[in-house]
């Protein structure tokens, strides 16, 4: 009997989201713990609309405060678990979360944005259609990490209303 390749699962379209300044309020000097984590006002409504358009959601975030000793992996995991619970209740779960604990002051890392490794891992793991996906960030490095893979980006002001940018995310 000849070998046949199993069918490839359907590719999905993703919205890759930066965290601080896009999902939650960025105070300007790190969100250190769950008490400082404040969801931005239009995020839940916006994600519901994007889900209706067929997108899945993946968080891509630098957490350089870990390398600087400002907070640790435990605090980041606590924030991410809290966010996952909120988004599950909103019926807009995160497909995955990728974060880089590195910062230039302690050494360079290819996983830190603008490096593309976090996005590359997500694309490979989840069979993402890069031509039908978007990266949403509030810093140019957020978009720069996705562009080598052909993923379009939208640069929004820090702490902006995500809802204002829905027309661009088609």
Active site amino acids: 18, 20
| H or E stretch at 122 | helix 117-126
Nearest Cα to Cα of residue 109 among 67, 166, 152, 159: 67
Share of the chain residues as helix, strand and coil, in percent rounded to the nearest 5: 35, 20, 45
Would you state the structure tokens that stand for residue 80, as one six-digit string?
Answer: 């991410």
CA atoms of 13 and 134, how far apart (whole Å): 8
What does the DSSP 8-state code read for residue 137?
A: E
CA atoms of 136 and 70, how far apart (whole Å): 26
Would you state the structure tokens that stand for residue 41, as one six-digit string?
Answer: 């006002």
CA 9 from centre of chain: 22
Residue 106: phi, psi to the nearest 5? -110, 0
């Amino acid at each position: 009997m000849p070998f046949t390749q199993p069918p490839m699962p359907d590719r999905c379209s993703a919205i890759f989201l930066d965290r601080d300044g896009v999902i939650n309020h960025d105070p300007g000097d790190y969100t250190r713990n769950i008490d400082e984590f404040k969801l931005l006002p239009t995020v839940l409504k916006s994600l519901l609309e994007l889900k209706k358009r067929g997108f899945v959601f993946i968080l891509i975030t630098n957490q350089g405060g870990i390398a600087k000793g400002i907070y640790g992996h435990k605090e980041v995991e606590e924030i991410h678990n809290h966010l996952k619970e909120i988004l599950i209740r909103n019926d807009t779960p995160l497909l995955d979360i990728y974060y880089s604990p590195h910062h230039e002051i302690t050494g360079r890392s290819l996983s830190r944005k603008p490096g593309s490794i976090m996005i590359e891992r997500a694309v490979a793991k989840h069979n993402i259609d890069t031509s039908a996906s978007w990266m949403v960030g509030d810093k140019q490095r957020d978009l720069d990490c996705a562009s080598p893979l052909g993923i379009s980006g939208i640069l929004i002001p820090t702490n902006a209303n995500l809802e204002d940018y829905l027309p661009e995310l088609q």
